[in-house]
């Protein structure tokens, strides 16, 4: 799904900062508008990648004021002007042993510490995966409940298969202001008169989900009538 020089959302495996047995990969950010990720912190530098508006990236402060460094999938850093980025209120964290496994195998891992935030960040790896009714493949085709089930399975949480069943599992969150990254959201489907859609809260009002209407894994803003009016449950 990713090409060589695109931003790596939550599994960058070089030049990271460690705390005890955990490694901070960076802070999640979101572009406020379409903006280039550059080879150097200069507007005249070579463009590595053109980020779209509201795209999620991992950022760390650059030495040069007004710039963030962005880890890219091929192991180098790019630079983006800070004015183009909103920093979201959580870090992407992975356990050192899992980071070592990624280095050895090139595979994926999600930290069990701070699991909710990590699931939220990790979900963004799959933006663009096609929607498929009944699908379970995070790369080639998946539906909304399969998306949530597969991601939580990465941290050892075995959820039921359907959105309606998942909505009965875990701690209930009853106020929007109490939502945290990684909380599961459940939406009413009027046609079937039951919970029929689910997604993962990202923070700052956004959530990720596999959408049949948008033809795949995407992000949306929860605090709009379309979504807020049919949100009927949230679980942690």
Percentage of the chain lying above the pLDDT 70 cut: 76
**pLDDT, position 30:** 82
Residue 109 has pLDDT above 90, yes or no: no
The tokens for 210 are 């596999």
- List, by residue range, all CATH 2.30.30.40 domains of the chain: 17-105
* Residue tagged active-site, from 84, 88, 197, 218: 197
- What are the tens digits of pLDDT across the range 162-179? 999 999 999 899 999 889
What CATH architecture applies to the domain 125-235? Alpha-Beta Complex (3.90)
- What are the tens digits of pLDDT across the range 61-92? 988 999 998 877 555 678 999 999 988 776 65
In order, the DSSP letters of 185-225 are: EEEEETTTTEEEEEEEEEETTEEEEEETTTTEEEEEESSSH
Helical packing angle, 144-153 and 115-123, nearest 10°: 130
* Residue tagged active-site, from 209, 211, 219, 233: 209
Structure pTM?
A: 0.57
- List, by residue range, all CATH 3.90.1720.10 domains of the chain: 125-235
**Phi and psi at residue 162, in whole multiples of 5°?**
-100, 155
Which CATH number describes the domain made up of 17-105? 2.30.30.40
Residue 15 has pLDDT above 50, yes or no: no
Residue 209 designated active-site: yes
Residue 10 designated active-site: no
Please count the other Cβ atoms lying within 10 Å of the Cβ belonging to residue 46. Answer: 10
Residue 208 has pLDDT above 80, yes or no: yes
* Residue tagged active-site, from 57, 119, 144, 179: 144
Residues contacting residue 193 through CB under 8 Å, at least 6 positions apart: none
């Amino acid at each position: 799904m990713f090409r060589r020089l695109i931003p790596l959302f939550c599994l960058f495996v070089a030049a990271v900062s460690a705390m005890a047995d955990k490694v901070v990969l960076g802070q999640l950010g979101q572009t406020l508008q379409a903006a280039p990720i550059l080879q150097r912190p200069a507007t005249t530098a070579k463009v590595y990648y053109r980020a779209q508006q509201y795209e999620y990236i991992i950022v760390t402060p650059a030495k040069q004021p007004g710039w963030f460094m962005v880890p890219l999938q091929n192991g180098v850093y790019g630079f983006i002007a800070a004015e183009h980025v909103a920093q979201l209120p959580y870090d992407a964290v992975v356990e050192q042993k899992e980071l070592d496994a990624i280095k050895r195998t090139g595979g994926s891992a999600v930290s069990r510490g701070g699991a909710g935030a990590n699931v939220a960040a990790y979900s963004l790896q799959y933006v663009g995966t096609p929607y498929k009714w009944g699908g379970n493949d995070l790369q080639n085709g998946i539906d909304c409940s399969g998306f949530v089930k597969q991601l939580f399975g990465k941290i050892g949480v075995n959820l039921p298969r359907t959105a309606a069943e998942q909505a009965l599992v875990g701690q209930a969150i009853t106020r929007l202001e109490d939502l945290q990254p990684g909380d599961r959201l459940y939406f009413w489907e009027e046609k079937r008169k039951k919970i029929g859609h689910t997604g993962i809260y990202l923070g700052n009002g956004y959530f990720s989900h596999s959408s049949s209407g948008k033809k795949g894994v995407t992000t949306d803003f929860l605090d709009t009538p379309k979504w807020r009016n049919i949100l009927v449950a949230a679980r942690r």
